[in-house]
Amino acid sequence: MRIGIDLGGTKIEGIVLSDDGSEVARRRIATPPGTYDDILLGIRDLVAGLEHAAGASCTVGVGTPGAISPATGLIKNANSTRLIGHQLDKDLERLLQRPVRLANDANCFAVSEATDGAAAGAGIVFGVIIGTGVGGGLVLDGRPVTGAHAIAGEWGHNPLPLAYDDERPGPACYCGRHGCIETWLSGPALSRQHEALTGRRLDARAIALAADAGTDTACAALIERYCHRLARGLATVINLLDPDAIVLGGGLSGIAALYRRVPALWTRFIFSEPAHVRTRLVPPRHGDSSGVRGAAWLWPKA
């Protein structure tokens, strides 16, 4: 059996999966508020509790914000800043006295959906996170791809492709550039666009609901433009990676219009015959559980 740990800023969730993907045990604790060492001890105790519940010793995989720098072996780019500059994988291996596999949380999402989720059986899977930010993960034959700089799949900090005149230079991004995909397609970005258009502040979910109900023409137009921008962004991913499936996750993945409109729009931007674009755009099967399940599946079936 295998344990998956989803290390978040406010909670740490753990799960035990059997070889057939069934859930044996699940536990959640609040992320300790103290030091980096407190986080390590919290994970140690969570693993011990899960193994006690499962009645077996397990492999351990961890999904974490940020990534391990190939240059230094230290965590970088994590919004949980206590992790930055530490050898999280090695420290956990010493504490748990076993090998530990660690991956970015977006990669874990993609691994989950590629293993026994919405893209099960697909050879090349791109997992997209569209929520507070925009991220992604790439999986080949069930294994996450990290890359030379541990940034494989991070499409959110590329410029929005084929930008129109009114989309240039684009909103400022925290990364220091303008017009990144994240500045157009995140939930907060959609909310800001609505406010600029109408003078009213709605969150992304409320905008999508109003558009779907057909009660607000401004919201409907905004969602249509969102779909167009997402189609341009994902068409570039398809042109580069040619994936079998793209799975959407995060808070905006529940917008039903995306699965209908984006594949209809992206054909004009993909370097293939429009009638023969085979990449599937699908919602996640495991939803919010994909991160912790994907961490467990970092140890695939033998």
Q: What would the pLDDT profile of 252-284 be if each residue is shown by its tens digit?
A: 999 999 999 999 999 999 999 988 899 999 999
Identical fold between 2-105+288-296 and 118-284: yes
Residue 221 CA to residue 206 CA, distance in Å, equals 14
Residue 184 CA to residue 229 CA, distance in Å, equals 8
Q: What is the per-residue burial (b if ≥16 Cβ within 10 Å, else e) of 189-216?
A: bbbebbeeeeeeebebeebbebbeeeeb
Give pLDDT, residue 123. 97
Listed in sequence order, the residues at least 6 apart from 183 whose beta carbon sits closer than 8 Å to its beta carbon are: 160, 170, 171, 172, 173, 189
CATH class name, domain 2-105+288-296: alpha beta
Of the candidates 284, 277, 288, 280, the one whose C-alpha atom is nearest the C-alpha of residue 255 is: 284
Burial (CB count within 10 angstroms: exposed 0-12, middle 13-18, buried 19+), residue 294: buried
Give pLDDT, residue 275. 84
Question: Is there a contact between 244 and 236 (Cβ–Cβ < 8 Å)?
Answer: no
Question: Is there a contact between 68 and 150 (Cβ–Cβ < 8 Å)?
Answer: yes
Give pLDDT, residue 78. 87
Give pLDDT, residue 215. 86
SS3 262: helix
Angle at CA of residue 152, ends 150 and 158, nearest 5°: 115
Give pLDDT, residue 86. 97
CATH class name, domain 118-284: alpha beta
pTM for the complete prediction?
A: 0.94
CA dihedral 283, 288, 182, 201 (to 10 degrees): 100
Domain boundaries, the chain: 2-105+288-296, 118-284
Q: Which residues of the chain have pLDDT under 50?
A: none
Give pLDDT, residue 79. 79
